[in-house]
A and B are shown apart, each in its own frame.
Chain A
Amino acid sequence: MYAQMVKSEGMKSREDMTPEEIAFQERIDRGEKIEPKEWMPEGYRKTLIRQIGQHAHSEIVGQLPEGNWITRAPTLERKAILLAKVQDEAGHGLYLYSAAETLGVSRDELLDALHAGKMKYSSIFNYPTLNWADIGAVGWLVDGAAIMNQVPLQRTSYGPYSRAMIRICKEESFHQRQGYDIMMKMAAGTPEQKEMAQDALNRFWYPALMMFGPSDKDSVHSAQSMAWKIKINTNDELRQKFVDQTVPQAHYLGLTVPDEGLKWNEEKGGWDFSEPDWSEFFAVIAGNGPCNTERLEARVTAWEDGAWFRDGLMAHAKKADARRAAARMAAE
């Protein structure tokens, strides 16, 4: 899940709603899509901007941990696949910034907020990719967790967001498969490769669980977002689904999930598992993860070093406009 702990508005009771708000809620309850030009409560708009913006930022910051291995990919085929995946992620960022723009916020404004540390991206991208199996683990676990969250979001109430999710989900399943494919090669490889695969799972397991955000009982923002269908499932529901899907895949690889408490629960028909260390999660969110500084610095540097490029293109567009206007004048 690329949007964690998105601050929503306090849940309003029916009696406190204006007639407009009631009509709006009824449209959502009927499963109608809300489109950009239509009336919406200010809180709905603001929450969506925060959520879509955070999601977009996650896609572009997410290029960095995987980009870290493009130049070292072990075969031409793996290099090509990884390039295609990272290109997709940048494309996802583009769709999502465009969806956010329909709510009246520009991409540049959102980027300024990211660069100033006022907006977040998913905690997961603050973890390093240290060996080649990490690229497998990112596709398998990180894209896997993202899919868990994004598939239901295809049904979200806001039209442009829903349509962006539909496009994105088509590509995400390829991302997860290529990740799992790397893990299969590594897990069935030399003893060193198998060790890398286990090491990757050990380091990415709990951070992947954290992607769904804190437990529902501690999650203050959920109720209103769920009523608005900006959030479809609770954090705990999604986390359970993810664990249930992933544990058999880990077993198939012959890898050990780093959780002594992992146990099949016949009664609930799912796995019991240990909670991640939430103090670590809050430390990462607060900026103290292993890579927070590098990730943000890389984005800020790219933006600042690229200022002359963007300015140059703007200046050229202005000159070209002026030349066209002058040609039109001369022709009249």
Chain B
Amino acid sequence: MGSAVNQAAFFEWLCRIGDNCLILGHRVSEWCGHSPVLEEDIALANQALDLIGQTQFWLGLAAEVEGKGRTADQLAYLRDAAAFRNVLLVERPNGDFGNTLMRQFLFDAWHIELLRALEKSSDARVAEIAAKAVKEVAYHLERSADLVIRLGDGTEESRARMQKALDTLYPYTGELFMADASDEAVVAAGIAPAPASLKAAWDATVSQVLAESTLTHPGETYQHKGGRKGVHSEHLGYILAEMQFLQRAYPGATW
């Protein structure tokens, strides 16, 4: 079970998935009580809850693989920004509700492909987590794709807002498909798919949903990167300052 893989690379890779869930879950949870309609308050709280649940699994496994006696909570609450491995996309500020939905859609369309591939992972623990998460994420994608379509093909204003969100966020999607030595190691061990191998299916989903939404595909744009290597935007520091406040202010306390 993953014995052939370099444990440091495996740990790095698990932090990447876990941190994506944690930081996106944090952003989504910021909407609690503030969304445009009660059904969205419920849906977003539920989505944040799913993502935090997935974080517990991924970072829990990361801690186990690391083997230094750390816990998922310690990874979440006691690492500084440079040790976080999430992509820049998920730390983008919420903006308006359309921006939040578009970020979710672009992420979900990738997340579902990743999890489907991970269900076949050579590591049973990874496959098991993926099998649980894939059901939740299928629902996230169904919702976010549906809303992108309806708002794209809604009023002039909703269309303009969704287009702006798409144009703003699209340059942060390329990082989802990049690979380095850690990725290559987990791919070689059969633990995970090559990031680039998810691109065609993601492109197909995105193109189909955008076409139905009447939005204009941004095409080839500049792509930002850095999060997966720990080089983040200024936003992450504030997320962590808020998220980690109690653990930092009262070291050693249990909650």
Contact = CB atoms under 8 A, between A and B. Distances in A.
B56 A80 contact: yes
Nearest to A63: B33
Contact of B35 (A83, A132, A306, A312): A306
B209 interface: no
A309 B72 contact: no
B49 to A, nearest CB: 4
Given A70-B29, A311-B155, A313-B151, A90 B38 contact: yes
Nearest to B49: A83
Interface string A54-70: 00000010011001001
Interface string A75-113: 111111001101100110110010000000001000000
B139 interface: no
Contacts of B254: 185, 189
Interface string A273-317: 000000000000000000000000010011101111111111111
A91 B55 CA distance: 24
Interface string B149-167: 1110111011101000000
A312 B159 CA distance: 8
A94 B151 contact: no
Contacts of B159: 312
B52 A80 contact: yes
A71 B250 CA distance: 17
B37 A319 contact: no
Contacts of B52: 76, 79-80, 83
Nearest to A313: B150
A151 B2 CA distance: 53
Interface residues of B, number: 51
Given A72-B243, A185-B254, A309-B158, A91 B33 contact: no
B53 interface: yes
Given A90-B42, A192-B253, A76 B56 contact: yes
Candidate in A71, A77, A83, A107 with the most chain B CB atoms within 10 angstroms? A83
B34 to A, nearest CB: 5
Contact of B53 (A72, A80, A90, A303): A80
A306 B55 contact: no
Interface residues of A, number: 51
B48 interface: yes
A77 B71 CA distance: 12
Contacts of B41: 60, 63, 87, 90
A60 B154 contact: no
A90 to B, nearest CB: 4
Contacts of B80: none
Given A76-B55, A77-B56, A83-B49, A193 B250 contact: yes
Contact of B253 (A73, A107, A193): A193
Given A78-B255, A311-B158, A316 B243 contact: no
A74 interface: yes
Contacts of B59: 76
3 pairs of A and B residues whose beta carbons are closest in the complex: A306-B36, A312-B158, A312-B154
Interface of A: 60, 63-64, 67, 70-80, 83-84, 86-87, 90-91, 93-94, 97, 107, 132, 182, 185-186, 189-190, 192-193, 298, 301-303, 305-317, 319
Given A73-B246, A309-B36, 12 more contacts: A71-B30, A71-B242, A74-B247, A76-B22, A76-B55, A79-B29, A83-B49, A84-B45, A132-B255, A305-B36, A311-B157, A313-B150
29 contacts: A60-B38, A63-B32, A64-B33, A67-B33, A72-B242, A74-B77, A74-B247, A76-B56, A76-B59, A76-B73, A83-B52, A87-B46, A90-B33, A90-B38, A90-B42, A93-B38, A94-B42, A132-B255, A298-B34, A302-B33, A305-B96, A308-B161, A309-B37, A311-B154, A311-B155, A311-B158, A312-B151, A315-B158, A316-B153
